[in-house]
Amino acid sequence: MATKVGINGFGRIGRMVFRAAAAREDIEVVGINDLLDVDYLAYMLKYDSVHGRFSGTVEVKDGSLVVNGKAIRITAERDPANLKWGEVEAEVVVESTGFFLTDETARKHIEAGAKKVVLSAPSKDATPMFVCGVNTDSYAGQDIVSNASCTTNCLAPVAKVLNDKFGIDKGLMTTIHAATATQKTVDGPSMKDWRGGRGILENIIPSSTGAAKAVGKV
């Protein structure tokens, strides 16, 4: 029987989670929450500059997203407490907005009817982080977990091998990251990090990362 999944935040990660789930018979996405109009959500799912067209059918009918003939509930709630996951029997919620990264805020999904929550970014509190091939064997049934970050998923498996074979006392990491949605295509203001406002097409931009801390936690 398929595990029923809800997705909160249908951005880059949310859509990739959906595509991966659609390719499996043991996962069924039953609800998506995002502030964008449902017609635009359908368009973003159907066409992707990196992965190409969605392999199945994507339609909008009566306010729902219909994928491969199955209707998926669409909501546009800012507060996860209002999502009523129980109504669509969502067992696991993928929290991919990037905003609700603590136990307190992510737990609103459980209060709304979900059983488990997976954060798509590093947690900002003591919520445990897991990386496949590194520490998933220590999962003890926690109802809220984090899948860490993309950089952490790249570095942690390598660090694990080095640590298991030789041991690690201290480490220094450098990562060359692909362009992200928060960067600018042409120079513009960036209040948090001035260099971060430089156009991504012409520059390699030094930046900080939380991956080193996350790898240590994992």
- How far, in Å, CA of 92 to CA of 112, rounded? 12
CA angle centred on 205, ends 216 and 14, rounded to 5°: 60
Place of tokens 């430089």: 198
Residue 196: both structure tokens together: 């971060």
pLDDT band at 114 (very low <50, low <70, confident <90, very high): very high
Annotated active-site residue in 16, 150, 154, 200: 150
Least confident piece of the model among 41-55, 95-109, 203-217? 203-217
124's CB contacts (< 8 A; 6+ apart) are 101, 102
Report pLDDT for 71: 98
Pick the CATH number of 151-217 from 3.30.360.10, 2.40.40.20, 3.90.1640.30, 3.40.50.1000: 3.30.360.10
Report pLDDT for 101: 98
Q: According to the per-residue pLDDT averaged within each range, which of 102-111, 147-156, 176-185 is highest?
A: 102-111
Report pLDDT for 209: 81
Report pLDDT for 53: 98
Domain ranges of the chain: 3-148, 151-217
216 or 100: whose pLDDT is higher? 100
Tens-place pLDDT, residues 21-64: 999 999 999 999 999 999 999 999 999 999 999 999 999 999 99
Q: Would you state the CATH architecture of domain 3-148?
A: 3-Layer(aba) Sandwich (3.40)
Task: Give yes or no: 150 in active site.
Answer: yes
Tens-place pLDDT, residues 119-144: 999 999 999 999 999 999 999 999 99
Q: Are 180 and 167 in contact (CB under 8 A)?
A: no
Largest CA distance in the chain: 59
Tens-place pLDDT, residues 152-207: 999 999 999 999 999 999 888 888 988 888 899 999 999 989 999 999 999 999 98
Q: Is the pTM higher than 0.85?
A: yes
pLDDT band at 216 (very low <50, low <70, confident <90, very high): confident
Which amino acid, residue 116? K
Report pLDDT for 173: 87
Walk across the sheet containing 27-33 and list its strands: 58-61, 64-67, 70-75, 27-33, 3-8, 92-95, 116-119, 144-146
